[in-house]
Amino acid sequence: MIEPIIKISNLCKSFGGTKATNDVSFELKPGEALGIIGPNGSGKSTLINLISGFVKPDKGQILFKGINITGMAPHKIVNLGIARSFQMSRPFYNMSVFKNLIIPISSPRARKLRGGKYGDLDEAAIHLLEEVGFERDSQVPYKEAGALPHGYLKRLELARCLALEPDIVILDELFSGMSMSEIASVVPLLERIKKEGKTLIMVEHRLTELFKIIDKIIVLNFGMKIAEGLPRDVMTQDEVTSAYLGSEVKTGA
Amino acid sequence: MRTNLSHRKERIDRGIKVRSDDIFVLASMRDLLYVILPKAIVILAMLILPLLKDVVGMYWLNVLVTTLVVILLALSWDLLASAGLVSLGQAFFFGVGSYIAGYLSFKFGWSPLFTIPTATLVGSIICALFLYPVLRLRGIYFGLITFALPLLLARLIEATKVLGGTEGMSALPPIPGMTGKLYLLMFVVLLTLFGFRRLISSNYGLVFQGIRDNDRAVIAAGYNIQWYKTQAVFIAALPATFAGAFVAHHFQFVGVPAFAMDYSILPLTAVVVGGAGTFIGGALGAVILMPLSEILREFGSLRVVIYSLLLLLFSIGLPEGLFKYVKRKYSQIERLTTMEEVKHD
Amino acid sequence: MVTNFLIYGLVNSAILMLSAIGFSLTFGLSGVANFAHGAMYLTAGFIAWMLINYLGLSPLVAMLLTVVLMGILGALIYRIILMPVRGIVLSEVISTFALGVALIEFFRWKGFTSFDFSLPPFVKGSIEIFGVTIDYQRLIIIGIALIIALFLWYFTHYTNTGLALRGMAQDEYTALSIGIESDWAAMLSLGLGAALASVAAVAILPLGIISINLGYEIFLIALAVSVLGGLESTLGLFVGSLILGYAMVIASTYLGPQWGQVVYLGAIVIVLAIKPSGLFGKYKELEERV
Ligand SMILES: Nc1ncnc2c1ncn2[C@@H]1O[C@H](COP(=O)(O)OP(=O)(O)OP(=O)(O)O)[C@@H](O)[C@H]1O
Ligand SMILES: [Mg+2]
């Protein structure tokens, strides 16, 4: 039996009165891809913030490769191998796009994994950008990041994650704000990342595309995990459809 | 339909500017001149000025010293700001440098040759340690603590009567020779200026800029940003503590005025007038403001009023500062063009 | 002796609270750290003085007029100086700082520095309480401080305007989307802050002469009280002023008068270094929406 790469148990987090995450547990094996869905405000981003250390849980435990990372500083978690993207993609506005990538590429983790070839960093950055769909020969990688259209920003977010060569990639609503063709160009990349053995956690509202990539799915509502399993099984459950279609909420399973 | 001719100003980027922003492709002697002239003039002026003791007079050479000191404080400010740390109390760094140098030479009779380097290095470490606790906070907390620290230290020294108390420590050994002194100061200014410019555009400096633009993204890349900010404070403190130590020996005196608000306001005004983020901006601001401030000296505190109004004016009216403005003008040609206006009626 | 200490500590606390209340309100409602707070206090003092001595108005009328004028001035300052740089913290700080210094140094240059500059107390005379002689003005200060604190608490918790302002401070975008206009709110909060600074000025200044350096001191005191209590917390303001008020009295009685300043400056530094959210503040590190 394969050890889970990440194991989350009984995670809780409240902001004032709102229980943003309420007793959530799950585990993932290396190379698995998990989708997290749920209506707006159901606590998807909070769950990601908890895993990546940006928010400290009130209760519960997160084990990553057997290491207890609960409440650890976010930069340490990154250096262990969990990279995340942000829902609101804010680039480093005053830097050109490829310079935006220099920061993750020359980060402690990336330097350790890639070796210290400092001179090649620019090249590596351009290469990464190409991988996420920036045309190499265009001017785009040299433009100021503040001027990028939304779809590009999202892909820059993705590139920032990949630059860290993480074991787990967490993507918060990567597809939102991307055009159909942009999504179409990113999906094969994500599939390849999965094939390389990386573990993926994706928060998404775009279900059709999500289901092409992921192996299993978790549905959150009001901070609670209301369903877990294979995508097509889960989507037919009553509770899930009612959460999405907005009928009365049943409490307790 | 009628047409009439009118003129309007047209602004075109100079060829060399179009070809590249910072990699220069020189096509002619003129291009070469265009690129190096501004730098050459500045450096030449700096080299020649100290030699003109008899022409300029001791008084204005002293003004030059103050100007260079303010430039150092402004450069220090700008480096902090590049890492998102807005300082409202450069006097803190200045005073710490001053007092360490002063104490070492007053108490142990060290020569400036040793006190200045020690004060610079040890002072910067002390500054970094002092500010470490607030570095995890965002927003104006860093500004508030840097604002309060120099005032507190001054009052503490007065109240506890340590380090010379209100009288301060006087009769410190001077740095001999005005010319040599000025060259030393200029060397440090140029070193800091070019050093900081290089640093901030290096990969290491990018991390600082990243912290300023979006600290979360830098954390998400696995950096310990508190540690990086500490380094930024240390590096930025170097020229400022040096300036303090230097001035201690220049005036042969250290006292509570080393923590005076002047040393916070002057560099801040210089940077705001000259423009933040370029390092040269602060220097330009100081070069304009300090002599101006000398001319206004006879007006007493009206000088400070004018100063603060300038600060206000530039921070609202020309937030990019003079340097970027001038630079943009310098790399453009302006000429009148004729245009045909077609009116449909 | 003990009653003496208790009463004068209380008076000092009330003075601190009154001095800080305008600053704290402006910061809490609009997020602007008004570095010109002390300058406003000073300006109010001089305006009141001029109204009394040049126009010959009766003190009470002059003081009321001052508060109104300063309120308008505060709002104007927002319109003219802060609006163009709204949201850029550095520029907000620099602009108010520069304005404050300009005002203070302008008075210095104009020669407003002598013992002639003082305001009359509301009521002359003094009374003996528990064997301690205390003048009416000091009692009035305690009263005003209490009334204003209560009023503010009521205003921000129970009136529509106050609630709107608080909503604004908590989440600008949401407030905007439900129709609270941010510029209007911020302008009001600066106007209120300035008016409160002048209430403090006309109440406190009769205790002594109007000295120029008060312009700097009052700002630092306001900062110390707000930082200690926790920026943007009314309860914090109350407790912060009590702690600092008594601490200052103790320090200057037992260690010497120059220690009073050390206490509040030290409070700023130590609180920011150890517990930046203050005693009752809501600042949480990085626990903002990601
Ligand atoms: N820092 C915070 N402070 C207070 N409340 C918060 C904070 N972060 C999240 N919340 C609240 O927690 C709940 C869950 O928010 P979260 O952002 O995790 O939802 P989400 O599922 O990501 O929604 P969306 O699809 O809109 O991104 C919401 O009610 C939100 O208002
Ligand atoms: Mg979300």
**Residue whose entry in the numeric block shows the structure tokens 């250096």:** A79
Q: Do residues A174 and A36 lie in contact, with contact meaning Cβ atoms separated by under 8 Å?
A: no
Greatest alpha-carbon span in chain C? 59
pLDDT mean over C255-271 = 90
Determine the number of helices (DSSP H) and then strands (DSSP E) in chain A. Answer: 10, 10
pLDDT (tens digit per residue) in C205-216 = 999 888 888 999
**Are the C-beta atoms of residues A12 and A22 closer than 8 Å to each other?**
yes
Residue A54 C-alpha, separation from nearest chain C C-alpha, in angstroms: 7
Average pLDDT over chain C reads 86
Task: From chain A, pick out residues whose CB is under 8 angstroms from the CB of C289.
Answer: 45
C-alpha of residue A79 to centroid of ligand 2, in Å: 24
Interval between CA A55 and ligand 2 midpoint (Å): 14
Overall fold of domain A6-93+166-251:
Rossmann fold (3.40.50)
Q: How far is the CA of C128 from the centre of ligand 1 (A)?
A: 59
Portion 19-38 of C in contact with B at CB < 8 A: 33
Q: Is the pLDDT of residue B34 over 90?
A: no
B 192-211 residues with CB < 8 A to A: 203, 206-207, 209-210
Cβ atoms of A117 and A93 closer than 8 Å:
no
Q: Rounded distance, CA C100 to CA C108, Å?
A: 13
> Are C95 and B312 within 8 A, CB to CB?
yes
Strand partners, A13: A21
Q: Report the pLDDT value the prediction gives residue B1, as an integer from 0 to 100.
A: 53
Contacts of A26 (CB under 8 A, 6+ apart): A8, A34, A218, A225, A228
In this prediction, residues A207-219 reach a mean pLDDT of 89
Residues of B in contact with A107 (CB under 8 A): 221-223
According to the model, what pLDDT value does residue C286 have? Answer: 33
- The average pLDDT across B5-19 equals 63
Q: Which residue has the higher pLDDT, B152 or B38?
A: B152
Residue scoring higher pLDDT (C118 or A84):
A84
Distance CA C133, CA C3 (A): 11
- Minimal CA separation from C212 to chain A, in Å: 43
Strands (E), C146-216: none
Going from N- to C-terminal start, the domains of chain A cover: 6-93+166-251
d(CA C180, CA C187): 13
Ligand 1 atom showing the smallest separation from residue A173 Cα: 27
Residues near A31 by beta carbon (within 8 Å), at least 6 away in sequence: A194, A197, A198, A199
In a mutational test of the A interface, the residue from B23, B223, B225 whose CB has the highest number of chain A CBs within 10 Å is B223
Q: C25, C159, C38: which is closest to C101 by C-alpha?
A: C38
From A14, A15, A47, A201, mutation site for ligand 1 pocket: most ligand atoms within 8 A of C-beta: A15
Helical spans, DSSP H, in A163-249:
180-195, 207-213, 231-234, 238-245
Which tens digits make up the pLDDT trace of C146-163? Answer: 999 888 888 877 887 777
Domains of chain B, CATH where assigned: 7-338 (1.10.3470)
Which residue is listed with tokens 């009141």? C48
Residue B42 in 3-state DSSP? helix
Q: Quick check: B4 pLDDT over 70?
A: no
Name which of B43-52, C21-30, C87-96 the model is least confident about: B43-52
Give the distance (Å) from ligand 1 centre to CA of residue A43.
Answer: 5
Bridge partners, residue B254, by sequence = B169
Residues of A in contact with B206 (CB under 8 A): 95, 99, 102-103, 106
The model's pTM is 0.89
Q: C289: pLDDT confidence band, cut at 50, 70 and 90?
A: very low
Q: Given a cut of 80, is residue A4 above it in pLDDT?
A: yes
Shortest distance, CA B81 to any CA of chain C (angstroms): 10
**Domains in chain C, please, with CATH?**
2-289 (1.10.3470)
Query: How would DSSP label each residue in B203-255?
Result: HHHHHHHHHHHHHHHHHHTT--HHHHHHHHHHHHHHHHHHHHHHHHHHHTEE-
A112: nearest CA in chain B?
Answer: B222
∠ CA(C84), CA(C85), CA(C88), 5° rounding?
160
Nearest CA-CA distance, residue B160 and chain A, Å:
41
Q: Which residues pair with B74 in a beta bridge?
A: none
Which of the four pLDDT bands, split at 50, 70 and 90, describes residue C199? Answer: very high
CA-to-CA dists, residue C149 to B29, B68, C122, C199, C279, angstroms: 72, 49, 20, 13, 18
Q: What is the DSSP string of A84-114?
A: E--SS----TTSBHHHHHHHHHTSHHHHHHH
Q: Which has the higher per-residue pLDDT, B242 or A16?
A: B242
Q: What pLDDT does residue A89 have?
A: 82
Size (chain B), residues: 345
